[in-house]
Amino acid sequence: MKPENILLESASDKKLDVKIADFGFSCIFDPREGLDLVLGSPLYMAPEIIKGETYNEKVDIWSMGVITYMLLTGRNPYPGKNKDQVKRMIVHSEVDLVKHFKGVSEDAKDFIRMALNKDIEGRYSAKQLLDHKWLKNLEDKISH
């Protein structure tokens, strides 16, 4: 997933219907076996894809973490000068949740931290992210 594939159906701020496009690499897989194809845009690739390891649906959680970081800071979390440097940073560097995060809540930073966890087992699932305190607080603000 990447921001270019997230579309709003309406220009109205009263109707926020989001559509996800471009399923060119989508497939059905056996969760017991995982996948090992190296596909996608380097900036949004999870470390396990870059390392050529077997992966699962949590690579999409990683991508959402990158997108969330970019939406909140207006910056790339892995600002390498080329694709190889970006890949090295993803695999070997921790994401900086301080430098460009003035005014961003600790809950939002925790959401990103849970999505960008290099440990697949520790990385949140989609359900866990949907239940995250930051989203629950945003939901409460929107509904009031």
Choice between 8 and 4, residue whose per-residue pLDDT is larger: 8
Question: Band of the pLDDT at 142, cuts 50, 70, 90?
Answer: confident
CATH of segment(s) 30-143 = 1.10.510.10
> Looking only at Cα atoms, what is the longest distance across the chain?
46
Q: Which residues make beta-bridge pairs with 17?
A: none
Predicted confidence band of residue 72 (pLDDT cuts 50, 70, 90): very high
* Cα 120 from Cα 132, distance rounded (Å): 18
| 57 CB-near residues (< 8 Å, 6+ apart) | 31, 126
Its pTM stands at 0.81
Q: Which tokens belong to 15?
A: 């109707």
Higher pLDDT pick, 32 / 51: 51
Going from the C-alpha of 142 to that of each of 69, 89, 124, the distances in angstroms are 21, 36, 24
Confidence of residue 7 (pLDDT cuts 50, 70, 90): confident
CB 47 within 8 A of CB 63: no
